[in-house]
Amino acid sequence: MNIDELGVLLKTFSDKDNNAPIPFKRTELGSSGTTFIPKDMSIPIVVKFQSKIQSETEYLANSFYRKLVKKLPREFYGHFGVPKTELATNNISKFANLFKKLTSLEITTESTLLIDCKNGATLYNVESSHTLFSLSDEDLRKIFFSIGQISGLDFITGNCDRFIPKKFRGVINPLFRINNGNVLIKLSKDGTNTLKKIYLIDNGPGLTDFFDFDERKGEELDDDTNYAVYSLFGDETQSALEEKPPEKKKNNLMSGEETRRERQADFEYFLHADDAELYAIANQIYVGVLNSIEEDDKIATKEEIEAVFKQDSSLIDEIKKGLDLTREQLGCVNISVIVDNLFSKAKNFHESPKKYLNFLNANFSLTR
Ligand SMILES: Nc1ncnc2c1ncn2[C@@H]1O[C@H](COP(=O)(O)OP(=O)(O)OP(=O)(O)O)[C@@H](O)[C@H]1O
Ligand SMILES: [Mg+2]
């Protein structure tokens, strides 16, 4: 369904019942954009308004992950899904008006993404509802194995907004925590909580980091907003609230090129990690998951978490196996074909994400 068709459909709702609200609601967690999810699955589409740059990269990243997952062996990756995404840049204003009533936030009318809505709970929901504790041992293992597999994929696009840390070189940071909002977990509905599917969502932030300053200038933001956004793209140790003038701040921040180089080095570290180094990456991710459980699961006691997780280092091995499998499988997929195909359809997109993926293409022999 494209934006015009959805617009016509939604308008019938507001016309029919004297301006009745359209059947969507804004998500509670979303921070990088204004994201609306359907109230029920009668229109199974997520609508996300954000800047053109963010939409382009999310569209590119979703398409990239989608194609990649499909090319990987079904027996190992068949339980993953990536929602289909459409990018619209025309006629946004009228369409956005239908959603404006649902939020007090500004809605950007530069572009919008229409994303297939999947039936699943975020890992955040799964953790906060204490559901992890009701899973079978086998499913719990599969989730940790999957976290490893997904982390391997995220190393390619430099996506540090899900499970992997930045610049990890073997030293465990005990405070690191994963972002548990960017995977959806579908469990069976027959009361047994059996793992059915894992969907990868919000896949763009890694690629968005690679933008050069001159490309970001295109974003029509006022000075204050610009300042905050630049800080998001830069060194995470620099706070948007520091009282330095924006101009000076901008010069201190990393350019897209530097970020690309940093993520390339992380990717290279992952590709060539020996057994002990790979175990350390898995261990850091595991620590990140435990920290998210400790924070978000309000029911589990410290003792319970320790009994299930801290005593059981075999879950680290599951993450490691997942990382290892993805690393091995990447050698069997022709990434350059995926990238070429993607960019042939995205000719007028910004340059930086293309630069990064083409670089990987040229410099890493991912097809052995
Ligand atoms: N395809 C989808 N199917 C079902 N629910 C979704 C889908 N995409 C997003 N959601 C829901 O909307 C929430 C916000 O989506 P998303 O993470 O894409 O937005 P965001 O603004 O980038 O959020 P954040 O900044 O917190 O990462 C998700 O946590 C999830 O609950
Ligand atoms: Mg998100």
CATH of the domain at 128: 1.10.1070
The verdict on 282 and 235 lying in the same domain is no
pLDDT for the residue 120:
95
pLDDT for the residue 365:
61
Mean per-residue pLDDT, 282-292: 97
Q: How far apart are CA 216 and CA 211, in angstroms?
A: 7
Q: How far apart are CA 8 and CA 82, in angstroms?
A: 26
The verdict on 181 and 134 lying in the same domain is yes
Predicted confidence (pLDDT) at residue 149 exceeds the cutoff of 90: yes
Q: Which of 252, 282, 312 is the last residue of a domain?
A: 252
- 151 in a structural domain: yes
The verdict on 142 and 236 lying in the same domain is no
Total domains present in the chain: 3
Ligand 2 center to 235 CA (angstroms): 20
Q: Which has the higher per-residue pLDDT, 156 or 368?
A: 156
* Crossing angle (nearest 10°) for helices 275-296 and 314-330: 120
The verdict on 289 and 232 lying in the same domain is no
- The residue whose CA is least distant from atom 22 of ligand 1 is 32
The verdict on 99 and 186 lying in the same domain is no
Mean per-residue pLDDT, 188-206: 90
The verdict on 153 and 19 lying in the same domain is no
Nearest to 283 by CA among 247, 314, 239: 314
- 107 in a structural domain: yes
The tens digit of pLDDT for each residue in 12-50 reads 877 666 667 789 999 876 566 699 999 998 899 999 999
- 368 in a structural domain: no
Q: Which of 56, 88, 116 is the last residue of a domain?
A: 116
Confidence of residue 219 (pLDDT cuts 50, 70, 90): low
- 330 in a structural domain: yes
The verdict on 39 and 98 lying in the same domain is yes
Q: Which of 252, 282, 305 is the last residue of a domain?
A: 252
- 351 in a structural domain: yes
The verdict on 48 and 195 lying in the same domain is no
Residue for token pair 């701040």:
249
Q: Which residues surround ligand 2, an ion (CB under 5 A)?
A: 181-182, 202
Mean per-residue pLDDT, 71-79: 96
The verdict on 262 and 246 lying in the same domain is no
- 21 in a structural domain: yes
Q: Which atom of ligand 1 is the closest one to the Cα of 115? A: 1
Q: Which atom of ligand 1 is the closest one to the Cα of 117? A: 3
Residue-averaged pLDDT of the chain: 86
- The residue whose CA is least distant from atom 17 of ligand 1 is 202
Predicted confidence (pLDDT) at residue 227 exceeds the cutoff of 90: no
- 7 in a structural domain: yes
What residues line ligand 1, using a CB cutoff of 6 Å? 27, 29-33, 35, 37, 46, 48, 83, 115-118, 122, 181-182, 184, 201-202
- Full residue range of the structural domain in which residue 230 is found: 213-252
Confidence of residue 253 (pLDDT cuts 50, 70, 90): low
Alpha-helical runs (H) found in the chain? 3-16, 52-71, 74-77, 92-100, 123-128, 137-157, 205-208, 213-216, 223-233, 246-252, 256-272, 275-296, 302-305, 314-330, 335-344, 352-363
User: What is the value of pTM for the model shown?
Assistant: 0.89
Residue to mutate, 28, 32, 36, 37, ligand 1, most ligand atoms under 8 Å from C-beta = 37
The verdict on 233 and 327 lying in the same domain is no
pLDDT for the residue 316:
97
Structure tokens at 62: 């979703």
Q: 289-294: long-range contacts at Cβ-Cβ below 8 A with a sequence spacing of 24 or more?
A: 289/144, 289/147, 289/163, 289/178, 289/180, 291/175, 291/176, 291/177, 291/178, 292/123, 292/124, 292/127, 292/177, 292/178, 292/180, 293/127, 293/132
Predicted confidence (pLDDT) at residue 238 exceeds the cutoff of 50: no
The verdict on 290 and 170 lying in the same domain is yes
- The residue whose CA is least distant from atom 29 of ligand 1 is 181
pLDDT for the residue 30:
58
- 355 in a structural domain: yes
Residue to mutate, 46, 51, 53, 178, ligand 1, most ligand atoms under 8 Å from C-beta = 46
pLDDT for the residue 216:
81
Mean per-residue pLDDT, 90-106: 89
The verdict on 67 and 10 lying in the same domain is yes
